[in-house]
Amino acid sequence: MAVPNLESSSSVNGPLAGMLPDVWHHIMGQHQGSVQRLSGVAHLNIDPVDWFTQVDLDPCALARSLSSRLLDPRNEQLRNAVHEIKFGCFNKRDVDDMEQRLMALVNSLPNLQRIKTRARLSQDVLRRLNGHSKQLSLYLLGEDGKRTVEGQLHSVLALAATVDSYSQDRGPNKDFLGVQALLFACPNLNSFSLTPLLDYGGCAPRFPAEGTVFSFQFSSDGKPFPPLEDLSLNGYHLSQNEGGHWAEKMQWSKLRSLSLGPQNTTTFLQLAINHATFLRDLTVQVYPDDADGQPLLEEFLINHTSLESLTVKGHYVSSRVVGFHTGLKHLCLHSFEPAEKSQTRPVFCSVQLQELNTSCPYLETLEIDLHRNGTWVRIKLVHQITCINTKVTLSQPEPELKILATKFKNLRRLILHLELGIASVEVQQGPNGLPEESATLIEPVLTEGSAREMGKQFFDWRSLSSSSSWSSKLSLLVLKTGEPLRRVPQWEPAYVQFERRNADTIEIHWPIGPEDAPEVVVLPRDPWSQF
């Protein structure tokens, strides 16, 4: 097969220095007859290097080098193994070259099935991919509403759009109508995501021009929605006359997954209460400064009990409400650490965890908040009594951590969010006239050593509480501090930098042997934590 020869057009140093063009030929040759086992999962990433990565390359050198090696005639085995291409965003000066490489790869990979692109492809490339003889599945994940829609896009299965209605480079912004046209031009679309860029936290507020469009516009005889199975709305508000069209034209029986937020999307949650009756997966997130919609969420959860996966971040949902969903396999309930000393983050106590274990016996993944104040195994009788509404006599309740370790027999992964102590942050003027920060981290401070100690106690409880037939299912415990889902204005509160500097994620893995300590992995911090 003739394969286009696209040079990398860059001088490659650092980690790519000395790499032969047929490197993949040698790698795949080591697998001998095992390539078929790889063919179902192999995919190719074509992305520019992340700017935090310390690599001696220009932004597109790695992507060019990878595509050139893949197109090398000696790497036929690797080409046969690739089923998916992930195409990243590139600078304007590199777009034409990278799109040329993309089309060369499409024509050269015999088993290619999917293309997922975070870049807004040119009209010509999209037209060629949509009509390609391989009948590719296209995932357009970088749209902005500025594309001119040309006919039906039968190959597009997923669409994600971000709209900045305050951008006035072409007059009054009507990009929402562009997204609407694209949405209804994809008759086979099963996944749709929409995020408006809302004006928040700047020192100079932006004002939309007259004639700006902030939502879809439907006629009385509008088209029905594509058969969406997955819908994600982040900050999209239904206009006054829009809800009726969604209610009547949306194929609600197809919808299995709904994600709302973290920007306020309560108008759609209110609509979903009466129509999204076939959901299996619900995600609702809100920012700490925008807790509107909790009553609507509880109403939804009480009236629809078919969920298998529930993620709630920013709202507190009681164990009683969650207990209506007895078939849950994945559950995340996370409230934010408050910045005010007068506020307390609500957490499940031992009694509520027992209730959750009883009502949701099939949980495989659990992500919740854990309170600690000097010890991992807090025992506080008064707290236990105030957590429940029934009269009961408690002697000495088991600590929450022990309940988590000894119950939930089908659990495979447990994630615990821990508080840092951001409410203690104070900034005062120092001797040199500069501001000085003081704060007290909540004990025990999350470190590699304390995580190992806590993990050993947890897995010891897990091992002793039951037979090995189910205790070994839980192989991973994750401890987290800090809050990535937090937006702050341009003038940041005092606690923000403290939280960034101290945020950590630590994985604790099940010990290899009965006498071994758990394996502890401290994950790299977010690069932004240094700022």
> Looking at the domain assignment, is residue 241 inside a domain?
no
* 55-59, 247-251, 383-387, 509-513: range with lowest mean pLDDT: 383-387
Q: What is the mean pLDDT of residues 65-92?
A: 88
Report the alpha-carbon distance of residue 422 to residue 494 in Å, rounded.
9
Residue 24 or 488, more confident:
488
Give which of 2, 136, 152 is closest to 82, Cα–Cα: 136
pTM of the model: 0.86
- When mean pLDDT is compared over 38-42, 89-93, 516-520, the highest value belongs to 516-520
Report the alpha-carbon distance of residue 186 to residue 254 in Å, rounded.
16
Strands, E assignment, 446-509:
476-481, 505-509
φ/ψ of residue 178, rounded to 5: -65, -40
What mean pLDDT is reported for the chain? 84
pLDDT score, position 28: 42
> Looking at the domain assignment, is residue 164 inside a domain?
no
Domain boundary among 79, 102, 119: 119
pLDDT score, position 24: 42
Going by pLDDT thresholds of 50, 70 and 90, the confidence category of residue 177 is: very high
> Looking at the domain assignment, is residue 402 inside a domain?
yes
> Looking at the domain assignment, is residue 279 inside a domain?
no
Rounded to a whole number of angstroms, the CA Rg of the chain reads: 26
pLDDT score, position 333: 98
> Looking at the domain assignment, is residue 4 inside a domain?
yes
pLDDT at residue 39 tops 50: no
> Looking at the domain assignment, is residue 302 inside a domain?
no
Give which of 337, 173, 167, 198 is closest to 261, Cα–Cα: 198
Virtual torsion, Cα 40, 41, 45, 50, nearest 10 deg: 180
Residue 81 or 368, more confident:
368
Summarised one tens digit per residue, pLDDT across range 242-273 is: 999 999 999 999 999 999 999 999 999 999 99
Q: Give how far Cα 172 sits from Cα of 23, 168, 196, 208, 307, Å.
A: 52, 6, 16, 8, 42
φ/ψ of residue 106, rounded to 5: -55, -40
Angle at 379 between CA 378 and CA 385, to 5 degrees: 125
Token pair in block for residue 514: 């009965």
Domain boundary among 92, 119, 146: 119
Q: What is the mean pLDDT of residues 454-479?
A: 82
Give which of 278, 179, 288, 189 is closest to 236, Cα–Cα: 179
Going by pLDDT thresholds of 50, 70 and 90, the confidence category of residue 45 is: low
Query: Which residues span the domain enclosing 84?
Result: 1-119
Summarised one tens digit per residue, pLDDT across range 294-344 is: 899 999 999 999 999 999 999 999 999 999 999 999 999 999 999 999 999
Are the C-beta atoms of residues 103 and 125 closer than 8 Å to each other?
yes
Q: What is the mean pLDDT of residues 340-357?
A: 94
Residue 204 or 76, more confident:
76
Residue identified by tokens 């009726």 is 244
Pairing between β-strand 156-163 and β-strand 137-143 as defined by DSSP bridges: parallel
> Looking at the domain assignment, is residue 214 inside a domain?
no
pLDDT at residue 458 tops 70: yes
pLDDT at residue 3 tops 60: no
Going by pLDDT thresholds of 50, 70 and 90, the confidence category of residue 14 is: very low
If one counts every other C-beta atom within 10 angstroms of the C-beta of residue 361, the result is 14
What is the DSSP code string of 268-327?
HHHHHHHH-TT-SEEEEE--TT--TTHHHHHHHHHH----SEEEEESS---HHHHTT-TT
Cα first-last separation, the chain: 51
How many Cα atoms within 13 Å fall on the side-chain side of residue 412?
Answer: 5
Summarised one tens digit per residue, pLDDT across range 358-389 is: 999 999 999 999 998 777 765 443 333 334 34
pLDDT score, position 128: 97
pLDDT score, position 173: 87
Residue 34 or 108, more confident:
108
Residue identified by tokens 């990565």 is 53
Token pair in block for residue 216: 């879809």
Token pair in block for residue 8: 């990398």
Distance of CA 344 to the CA centre of its chain: 26
Please, which residues have CB within 8 angstroms of residue 23's CB and are 6 or more apart in sequence? 69
Q: Which long-range contacts (CB under 8 A, 24 or more apart) does 273-278 make?
A: 273/299, 273/300, 273/303, 273/304, 274/247, 275/247, 275/250, 276/252, 276/300, 276/304, 277/252, 277/304, 277/306, 278/252, 278/253, 278/254, 278/306
DSSP letter at 255? Answer: -
Q: What is the mean pLDDT of residues 30-47?
A: 47
- As for how many domains the chain has, the answer is 2
pLDDT score, position 381: 36
Domain boundary among 65, 88, 119: 119
> Looking at the domain assignment, is residue 382 inside a domain?
yes
Give which of 444, 433, 446 is closest to 523, Cα–Cα: 446
pLDDT score, position 133: 96
